[in-house]
Structure 1
Amino acid sequence: MIRTLSAALACALLAACASTTPATDASPSAASTAATNTELATAIAGNWRSLEETARDVYRHPAETLALFGVQPDHTVVEITPGGGWYSAILAPYLRERGRYIAAVVDPASLPAGGSRDYQQRAKDGLAKRFAEAPAQFDRAQFAAYDPKTPVFGAPNSADVVLTFRNVHNWRMADQAEGMFKGFFNVLKPGGVLGVVEHRAKANVPADDMTGYVGEAQVIALAQAAGFRLDARSEINANPRDTKDHPNGVWTLPPSNRHDPADAEKYRAIGESDRMTLRFVKPAR
């Protein structure tokens, strides 16, 4: 049965777990859950995160989102195409002592020469530079370079959690989405979690849609076709102010702000895009 969590309930997971009696013997103790919450809060509050990054917490809700996805400090977590490392700056320090953080990036060598290869090389180099400049937080972070045509993110059944934030639209436009979801399924352990956050369209959109939005039913269908079971969905990252009819799609909104300067206040008042937040599970059998 799919569980629907409100934002308020997701927040309560962090605040109230310490006083909640476990439902079963397999559940973590209240003390261990409280310790986990403290470790996550410490990572989110870390002074290695820039002011620009922390300013986006109000839109991205990292504590509530990672609580929904069940990320624990001893997990092996694969984050797919982490970009500039917004979530890396939380996850890598959080997992540093007992877990394992893996940034899965496109292998530039798998792409033909040109702009796309250069872009992916700059992205990889930029993230590696960030990791190297703060070894106390990132010295144990690892990279997994993958070919988007035949994506492999690690040894089969080796990851506890796979996370992807606002990437599915790119894979759909490149006709890579099915292969990516199959790759997620393969690298996860039985019972492992796939966490997806994506810009949410009003309804299904064509594969070549250029707005950056994707239908929630389309993302669910992709995951289910790869073998996943939808386990939870949440409105943690919803934004009802997003009308989804902007001239430059999601990139009209913050933080990209591809709009006329005269419209700055209008789009600032909207904020970042409306987003679905979905948790899938790889069946144990």
Structure 2
Amino acid sequence: MRALVFAPIALALLPAATVARDPAPSPALIAAVKAPSRTPANVARDRYRHPAETLAFFEVKPTDTVVEIWPSGGWYTEVLAPYVLKRGVLYAAAASDKGLAGVRSLAAAHPAAYKGLRHAIFPAAEGQPRVPDGTADVVLTFRNVHNWRFGPTDQTQAAFDQMFAMLKPGGVLGVEEHRLPEDQAGVEEGKSGYMKQSSVVAYATKAGFKLVGESKVNANPKDTHDYPGGVWTLPPTYAEKDKDRARYAAIGESDRMTLKFVKPR
């Protein structure tokens, strides 16, 4: 039997199931993406972010207890709320109460669509409202790992540890992150907004997760990963403003890893 010893080899030799065709989104998920409560500017980004396909890959079901980590303005919350809140539970977990302002604004504009949305702090310190351990079916984090790694303090391992704790045995962690190729030279991981897949897998593995799948749904081969303003040079941020804007618009949004982990039973 061939042993998988080194992380780069392990990534290259994932089980066959990880390269199988991604599941098709359900009618309920497609309907949630088309919800009238979504912001038109967010809908315009669907061609880059592929919300239905991404959530189908992460196996999110409408009866699940789902935790969205650091939702910011609520781009994915707009899809998750109409999909989950009628029959399941949805938490928006932010670094502080201020970080929940975006989803609170959405809820104020469309109270029926967000009825029952729960809030939590993440990573939570002692005494702060948190997602109870062992209660979540799915935890989702979109484009956040680099912020944990290169924020004022390195929160990365604490973040993965808390996500592991809040999941039920057999629960799924879905991670989408700007991907830095393993052999890319001259680009600083994290501060550029990009992370190497091997680094993300290492944090998750140390927390206790098992990598079970990788989707190419958010890959972008046009992304060269080496911009003066980091990943924020690309849309929708355009860190260089009007400089070379047409070039960056033609590239589109970043090349992203889409990884599925499970908490072992």
Q: Which TM-score band applies after superposition, normalised by the shorter structure? A: 0.7 to 0.9
Compared CA separation, residues 181 and 127, structure 1 to 2 (3 A): same
CA-based RMSD of the aligned residues comes to: 2.1
Q: Please show how residues 90-101 of structure 1 align to structure 2 within 5 Å.
A: 90-101=79-90
CA distance in 2, matches of 1:231, 1:175: 26
Distance in 2 separating the partners of 1:204 and 1:281: 27
Deviates more, 1:171-180 or 1:126-135: 126-135
C-alpha displacement at 1:146, in angstroms? 3.3
More helix by share: 1
The aligned counterpart of 2:194 is 213
What corresponds to 2:226 in structure 1? 245
Alpha-carbon distance in structure 2 between the residues aligned to 1:156 and 1:204: 37
Letter in 2 for 1:69: F
Residue pair 1:234, 1:277 contacting (<8 A) in 2 also: yes
Q: What is the rounded CA distance, in whole Å, between the counterparts of 1:59 and 1:228 in structure 2?
A: 28
Contact 1:153 1:184 in 2 (8 A): no
Counterpart position of 1:180: 159
Answering whether residue 24 of structure 2 is matched by residue 13 of structure 1, we say yes
Q: TM-score, normalised by structure 2?
A: 0.87
In the alignment, which of 174, 179, 184 is matched to residue 195 of structure 1? Answer: 174
Please report how far the alpha carbon of residue 140 of structure 1 lies from its aligned counterpart in structure 2 after TM superposition. Answer: 1.3
Tell whether the 8 Å contact from 1:204 to 1:217 is kept in structure 2 after alignment.
no
C-alpha contact 2:73 2:101 (8 A) present in aligned 1: no
Letter aligned with residue 143 of structure 2: R
Q: Alignment partner of 1:219: what SS?
A: helix
CA distance in 1, matches of 2:131, 2:123: 12
State the alpha-carbon separation in 1 of the partners of residues 121 and 112 from structure 2.
Answer: 23
8 Å Cα contact 2:147-2:190 kept in structure 1: no
* In the alignment, structure 1 residue 259 sits paired with structure 2 residue 240: yes
Matched, 1:132 2:108: yes
Q: Does structure 2 conserve the Cα–Cα contact (< 8 Å) formed by 1:254 and 1:267?
A: yes
Tell me the residue number matched to 1:142.
118
Contact kept, 8 Å, 2:123 with 2:159, in 1: the verdict is no
Q: 1:38 aligns with which of 27, 45, 53?
A: 27
Identical amino acids, percent of aligned pairs: 46
Residues 156-182 of structure 1, C-alpha deviations (whole Å, 9 max, x = no match): 110000000000001111310000000
2:38 to 27, 49, 72: 49
* Partner secondary structure for residue 136 of structure 1: coil
* Residues 1:177 and 1:207: Cα distance change in structure 2 (over 3 Å): farther
The offset of 1:152, in angstroms, is 7.7
- 1:193-242 deviations in Å (ceiling 9; x for gaps): 00000000122799874100000011011100000000101111000000
Give the match's secondary structure for 1:73.
Answer: coil
Q: In the alignment, does 2:228 pair up with 1:233?
A: no
**Structure 1 unaligned spans of 5+:** 15-36, 109-120
Q: What letter matches 2:145 in structure 1? A: V
- TM-score, normalised to structure 1, is 0.81
Deviates more, 1:153-162 or 1:275-284: 153-162
Letter paired with 1:183: Q
Other structure's SS at 1:278 match: strand
Is contact 1:2–1:232 with CA below 8 Å preserved after alignment?
Answer: no
- Which residue number in structure 2 is paired with residue 4 of structure 1? 18
What CA distance in whole angstroms lies between the structure 2 residues aligned with 1:215 and 1:136?
40
* CA apart distance, 1:55: 1.1
Taking the TM superposition and a 5 Å limit, the aligned residue runs for 1:112-123 are: 121=98, 123=99
Distance, in Å, in 2 between the alignment partners of 1:243 and 1:208 is: 14
* Residues in 1 aligned to 2:123 and 2:57: alpha-carbon distance in whole angstroms: 29
CA distance in 2, matches of 1:88, 1:189: 21
Residues 228-273 of structure 1, C-alpha deviation per residue, up to 9 Å, x if partnerless?
A: 0001011110000000010100100000011141411100000000
Cα distance between partner residues in 1 of 2:178 and 2:239: 16
Q: Does the 8 A contact of 1:204 with 1:218 survive in 2? A: no
The change in CA–CA distance for 1:161 and 1:204 in structure 2 (over 3 A counts) is farther
Q: Secondary structure at the match of 1:267?
A: helix
Q: Are 2:49 and 1:60 equivalent residues in the alignment? A: yes
